[in-house]
């Protein structure tokens, strides 16, 4: 078949093709993009300016028909060895396996063996989205206008709601026109922001351990991740003075995240002030991932990075509906802060996606308008689970800090174990699945993370199972 690497024709009849048809077909096939569907044994070629469809018959020799503009061609192709083989991009080769995909595979393997797995890995709230939010979403679905393409940067009504929420929650004034952008979940914004600012060779400053997307998004943009160790001795905050000047001067972005995932650490104004000064000194954009500010306990209430004077001049803050309102599957978030940075992120989004579904945005407007006390029961539930888990771990003689925020518990593994060794032991002996700390970066080695996003009774059962094994 002309123009398609990997296809070997053993027989071809071109008699039915007109001169013009043959020329058009050859030219178009040379630019073919091939999509294989094994389910219906159909290969569709997305071509310009023509569309061809190749129907495969079962058997070692497969007869195909190519339908094009004023031409019909018949080919006989050999079996599977005729499929195209394209090497994957370097950026994919450089990626480590996505942590939670690996954990899902481990879980499925255990379940297949009949193990009753208690999954305390991923941070996906098990509690339902509040009923009033769901009801509002249902109403929004009836509006036909919401089923059209949405705004790339989000409905103005939602951007205004975000600005109002930030004022009520943090006393931060935001211009909804220039300083707020709606995201398809905060992960989407974090993944796209490096594309706006990082060129090949530029550094992205990444916390280690940290949310894996900080690293992968930097790599996708062609940048170099520079890892900032988060150690218990330094309260899981990066030592900005330890970053070499040569790195800082060639860095475009710095990611940080408080309350922190995975360590559950918190940060106060002095650290945020230091961050502002560091970014001003080296001309670096601060990217604060604040997804967990509304999950807190014991009278503690996390602050926003943007509360610090000068923060809006150097960076932006990402937020999410996932943790605050149990809307993980809805895929809705936002970024706020520096108008120039927001504008560049918006330009990336304009060229990549078409914005969040408007009915979901309507639900987001309603969610933000609710009394903050509506989340009290959510926090109470997580706190109860935290206390049960912490008490159980300490009773086993394990050293563990009780977090003031997030729904994670970050624990050093017992002596003599690696993170994976301990994770494997716990899974094999108890059926409890936890996350090895080194999955978040090399500085997570020696720790594991427990998630509190399982029903309270399952947390209790996990504690009981852990009591049955020796470390």
pTM for this predicted structure: 0.82
H or E segment and range at residue 118: strand 118-119
Query: Is 386's pLDDT higher than 70?
Result: yes
Query: pLDDT above 70 covers what percent of the chain?
Result: 82
Strands 203-208 and 224-229: parallel
- 54-91 pLDDT per residue, tens: 443 334 344 344 444 443 343 334 445 556 788 888 88
For the 93-127+375-466 domain, the top CATH level (class) is alpha beta
Nearest Cα neighbor of 317 from 177, 190, 159 is 190
- Please compute the mean of the pLDDT values over residues 17-40 and round it to a whole number: 39
Q: Regarding predicted confidence, which is higher, 264 or 10?
A: 264
Examine the pLDDT at 466 and tell me if it is beyond 60. yes
Q: What does the alpha-carbon distance between residue 309 and residue 117 come to, in Å, rounded to a whole number?
A: 47
Spatial distance between the Cα atoms of 45 and 23, rounded to a whole number of angstroms: 17
Tell me the pLDDT band of 290, cut-offs 50, 70 and 90. very high
For residues 99 and 289, the model is more confident at: 289
State the pLDDT at residue 26: 42
| Opening angle at CA 356, ends 350 and 362, nearest 5 | 135
From the candidate CATH numbers 3.40.640.10, 3.10.20.740, 1.10.3720.10, 3.40.630.30, the one assigned to the domain spanning 131-374: 3.40.640.10
Helical H segments across 59-200, by residue range: 90-93, 99-112, 131-141, 156-170, 186-197
pLDDT above 90 for 289: yes
Terminal CA-to-CA distance of the chain, rounded, Å? 63
Residue 451: how many CB atoms within 10 A of its CB?
25
8 A C-beta contact, residue 342 and residue 178: yes
The stretch 448-468 carries a mean pLDDT of: 96
Which has the higher per-residue pLDDT, 202 or 471?
202
Whether the pLDDT of residue 448 is over 70: the answer is yes
State how far the Cα of 105 lies from the Cα of 21, in Å rounded to an integer. Answer: 49
- Among 8-22, 115-129, 247-261, the range scoring the smallest mean pLDDT is 8-22
Distance, C-alpha 70 to centroid of its chain: 47
Least confident of 36-40, 139-143, 224-228, 302-306: 36-40
Burial group, residue 419, by CB count within 10 angstroms (0-12, 13-18, 19+): buried
For residues 329 and 137, the answer to whether their CB atoms sit within 8 Å is no
- In DSSP terms, 12 is beta-bridged to 75
Q: What are phi and psi of 65, to 5 degrees?
A: -120, 130
C-alpha closest to that of 438 among 449, 430, 428: 449
Ordered by start, the domain boundaries in the chain are 9-82, 93-127+375-466, 131-374
pLDDT of amino acid 108 = 87
State how far the Cα of 354 lies from the Cα of 124, in Å rounded to an integer: 25
75 or 204, higher pLDDT = 204
pLDDT of residue 281 exceeding 90, the answer is: yes
State the pLDDT at residue 92: 84
Gap between the Cα atoms of 176 and 158, Å rounded: 9
């Amino acid at each position: 078949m002309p123009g398609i690497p990997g296809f070997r024709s053993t027989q071809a009849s071109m008699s039915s093709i007109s001169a013009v048809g043959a020329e058009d077909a050859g030219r178009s096939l040379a630019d073919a993009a091939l999509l294989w569907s094994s389910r219906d044994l159909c290969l569709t070629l997305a071509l310009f300016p023509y569309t061809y469809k190749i129907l495969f018959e079962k058997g070692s020799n497969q007869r195909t028909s190519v339908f094009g503009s004023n031409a019909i061609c018949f080919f006989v192709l050999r079996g599977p060895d005729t499929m195209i083989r394209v090497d994957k991009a370097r950026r994919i080769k450089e990626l480590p396996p996505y942590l939670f995909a690996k954990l899902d595979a481990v879980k499925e393997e255990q379940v297949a063996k009949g193990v009753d797995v208690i999954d305390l890995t991923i941070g996906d709230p098990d509690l339902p989205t509040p009923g009033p939010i769901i009801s509002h979403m249902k109403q929004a679905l009836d509006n036909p206008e919401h089923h059209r393409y949405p705004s790339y940067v989000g409905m103005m009504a939602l951007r205004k709601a975000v600005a109002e929420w930030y004022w009520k929650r943090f006393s931060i004034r935001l211009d909804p026109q220039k300083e707020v952008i709606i995201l398809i979940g905060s992960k989407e914004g974090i993944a796209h922001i490096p594309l706006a600012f990082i060129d090949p060779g530029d550094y992205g400053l990444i916390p280690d351990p940290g949310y894996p997307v900080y690293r992968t998004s930097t790599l996708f943009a062609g940048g170099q991740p520079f890892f900032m160790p988060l150690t218990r001795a330094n309260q899981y905050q990066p030592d900005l003075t330890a970053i070499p000047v040569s790195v800082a001067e060639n860095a475009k972005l710095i990611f940080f995240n408080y309350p922190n995932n995975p360590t559950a650490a918190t940060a106060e104004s002095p650290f945020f002030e230091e961050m502002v000064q560091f970014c001003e000194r080296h001309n670096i954009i601060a990217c604060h991932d604040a997804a967990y500010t509304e999950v807190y306990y014991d009278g503690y209430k996390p602050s926003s990075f943007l509360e610090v004077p000068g923060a809006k001049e150097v960076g932006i803050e990402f937020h999410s509906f996932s943790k605050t309102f149990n809307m993980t599957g809805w895929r809705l978030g936002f970024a706020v802060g520096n108008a120039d940075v927001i504008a560049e992120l918006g330009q990336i989004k304009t060229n990549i996606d078409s914005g969040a579904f408007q009915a979901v945005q309507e639900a987001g407007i309603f969610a933000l308008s609710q009394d903050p006390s509506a989340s009290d029961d959510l926090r109470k539930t997580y706190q109860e689970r935290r206390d049960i888990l912490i008490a159980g771990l300490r009773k086993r003689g394990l050293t563990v800090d009780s977090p003031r925020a997030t729904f994670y518990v970050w624990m050093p593994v017992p002596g003599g174990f690696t993170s994976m060794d301990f994770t494997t032991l716990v899974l094999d002996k108890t059926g409890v699945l936890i996350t090895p700390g080194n999955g978040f970066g090399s500085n997570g080695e020696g720790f594991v993370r427990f998630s509190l996003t399982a029903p309270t009774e399952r947390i209790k059962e996990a504690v009981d199972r852990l009591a049955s094994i020796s470390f």
